[in-house]
Amino acid sequence: SQTIHQWPATLVQPVGSPLSLECTVEGTSNPNLYWYRQAAGRGLQLLFYSVGIGQISSEVPQNLSASRPQDRQFILSSKKLLLSDSGFYLCALEAGGPTGELFFGEGSRLTVL
Amino acid sequence: GENVEQHPSTLSVQEGDSAVIKCTYSDSASNYFPWYKQELGKRPQLIIDIRSNVGEKKDQRIAVTLNKTAKHFSLHITETQPEDSAVYFCAATGNNRLAFGKGNQVVVIP
């Protein structure tokens, strides 16, 4: 069965510091992968999605970037965090090809101070 | 692109009563409509979904109905229990990706 791992689970970072959140999946090959952000009390905002190694599409212009160095690895990064980057970051795996069911990782809660 | 809206934003129900959440979507080509439940501090989890070739799907106390003509679909929870308290997100396909609504907070009052 498919599993999805995210780390770190929580982190507190100062404004201007870098960020790296990692997502890895198991039990599937060549999955579509997604990064979502959820601000407190808000909905799910799609940040990036990837259909394969090195293929990244950005939904929202911002100071975040994503990379997919391996088939089952998806990384979210920032060179300099802003206060507005605080939130709950969720990696998701799409099952069954395009527009299939999304499985979410357990999330990474980021607080920028 | 696809625009998904959910109503009401917050819903309080007495334990044992039914809850209904409605979503509308804009893209008539959408053909996949899932519902996700997110408990406080947890990840969203799929609870039920429906595809455009059926009008209703049921799984124990939850059901989803789809009206493609009117472009809306609804989540029905019967015999609500305290553990049903959560945020519920609907979604619909658009540009080959899921577009999510903003979520409904459901509170079940014991």
pLDDT tens profile B38-62: 999 899 999 999 998 889 999 999 9
Tell me the β-bridge partners of B77.
B19, B62
Tell me the β-bridge partners of B98.
B93
Using pLDDT thresholds of 50, 70 and 90, give the confidence band for residue A37. Answer: very high
CA distance A103 to chain B (A): 7
**Cβ contacts of B33 on chain A, cutoff 8 Å:** none
Using pLDDT thresholds of 50, 70 and 90, give the confidence band for residue A97. Answer: low
**Cα of A66 vs its chain's centroid, Å:** 8
Q: What is the mean pLDDT of residues B26-48?
A: 94
pLDDT for the residue numbered A100: 75
Q: B43 vs A99: CB contact, 8 Å cut-off?
A: no
Question: pLDDT tens for residues B90-99?
Answer: 999 877 788 8
What letter does residue A112 receive in the DSSP assignment? E
3-state helix, strand, coil in chain A (%, to 5): 5, 60, 40
Among the partner residues B34, B96, B103, nearest to A98 by beta-carbon distance? B96
User: What sign for the dihedral angle of Cα B70, B13, B60, A93?
Assistant: positive
Which tokens sit at A42? 């808000």
> Rounded distance, CA B41 to CA B28, Å?
34
Greater model confidence, B52 or B81: B81
**Cβ contacts of B93 on chain A, cutoff 8 Å:** 99
Q: Does residue A77 surpass a pLDDT of 70?
A: yes
Tell me the β-bridge partners of B105.
B10, B87
pLDDT for the residue numbered A102: 92
Count of A–B CB contacts within 8 Å?
A: 41
Q: What is the mean pLDDT of residues A63-90?
A: 96
> Rounded distance, CA B79 to CA B93, Å?
30
